[in-house]
Amino acid sequence: MVSERESSQFVETASGRIHLHQVGEGHPVVMLHGSGPGATGWSNFGPNLDAFAERFRVIAPDMPGWGASDPVSYEERDHVAAAIQLLDALDIERAALVGNSMGGATALKVAGRHPDRVSHVVTMGSGAPGPRMFVAGGGPSEGLKVLHQGYREPSRENMRALCRVMAFDQSFASDELIEQRYQSCAAHPEHITNFAAGLGRPRRGESTLEDIAAIKAPALIIHGRDDRVVHFEAALRLVSTIEDARMVLLNQCGHWAQLEHADEFNRLVCDFIESASAATF
């Protein structure tokens, strides 16, 4: 069993000190968490690490501005640069990037702009540029409104609302996860303040259509049919734009496919990375 404490370590980069969990051996797989208040590499991917560590060297960082990593302001936040610096600090030439939501946006942008550093791309619940086809109106989704409120007021009540809107199966909005997210916010109030300062301003780190069209690495796009944060139409845009892509749409699944359908997610992604290995490793 992967231990949260024993797998924990820090690396120094030009973007500051990055905290991460690292286990296993083999081809590197970097798992990038989403943007919610209290999110960390462990909260997004802790239940997946055992399965991945049996086959790969897996790294789950807290990106700058989250978890135990150094804080960054809205203006300083550059997760693409941070991801490349993290690979350099760990002496990784090429890695598979697996990203949830914001982490998927980072993975897509890195793959489009630094193709020599990315062997595979996997996204879960990630957005895509372009007009909305199936969702009426503008502005943030129901889930993003709840996420933003969690940054404006990071109370236990709002962490509960956040966990509930993220998951289709409400058992995943457990008291343990809610308390974990709340304590992460309380331990790092500077992260909350810095992110909240960017609300209402242009979102940072979003990929352009040109970035996505430039991706040559094999891509696996996973999305929940019941995602209330990012509609699954985004997955349709991604799979129609990336040259070597396939899509899996999961029914009875919200924004956290890797948690709600952990066994299927682990099998799908591990098999995908290994099956595409001949052309990429």
Give the pLDDT confidence of 143-156 residue by residue, as tens digits: 999 999 999 999 99
**Is 255 a catalytic site residue?**
yes
Cβ–Cβ < 8 Å for 98, 254: no
> Residue 68 CB: number of other CB atoms within 10 A?
19
Mean pLDDT on 33-58: 97
Residue 201 to residue 203: CA distance in whole angstroms: 6
The pLDDT-based confidence of 278 (bands split at 50, 70, 90) is very low
Superfamily of domain 8-280: Alpha/Beta hydrolase fold, catalytic domain (3.40.50.1820)
List beta partners, residue 10: 19
List beta partners, residue 95: 118
- pTM, 2 dp: 0.95
Which phi and psi angles does 53 have, rounded to 5°? -65, -20
Percent of the chain having pLDDT more than 70? 97
* pLDDT beyond 90 at 180: yes
Q: Please, what is the Cα angle at 269 between 87 and 104, to 5 degrees?
A: 55
The pLDDT-based confidence of 170 (bands split at 50, 70, 90) is very high
Q: Which two tokens stand for residue 117?
A: 């550093």
In this structure, what DSSP letter does residue 252 have? S
Query: Which residues touch 132 (CB under 8 Å, ≥6 apart)?
Result: 138, 231, 233
* pLDDT beyond 60 at 220: yes
Q: How far is CA 144 from CA 38, 151, 167, 229, in A?
A: 15, 11, 13, 6
Give the active site residue among 19, 188, 231, 255.
255
Q: Which two tokens stand for residue 101?
A: 């939501």
Query: Which residues touch 149 (CB under 8 Å, ≥6 apart)?
Result: 158, 161
Cβ–Cβ < 8 Å for 250, 264: yes
> In which element (H, E) is residue 251 found?
none
* pLDDT beyond 60 at 228: yes
Which phi and psi angles does 131 have, rounded to 5°? -70, 150
Alpha helices in the chain (DSSP H): 41-45, 49-53, 79-89, 102-113, 142-152, 156-166, 175-187, 189-196, 209-213, 233-241, 257-260, 262-275, 277-280
* pLDDT beyond 90 at 134: no
Reported as a single tens digit per residue, the pLDDT across 51-103 is 999 999 999 999 999 999 999 999 999 999 999 999 999 999 999 999 999 99
Cβ–Cβ < 8 Å for 79, 64: yes
Tell me what pLDDT residue 103 has: 97
Mean pLDDT on 130-136: 78
* pLDDT beyond 80 at 141: yes
Q: Smallest Cα–Cα separation from 84: which of 112, 53, 44? A: 112
Tell me what pLDDT residue 242 has: 97
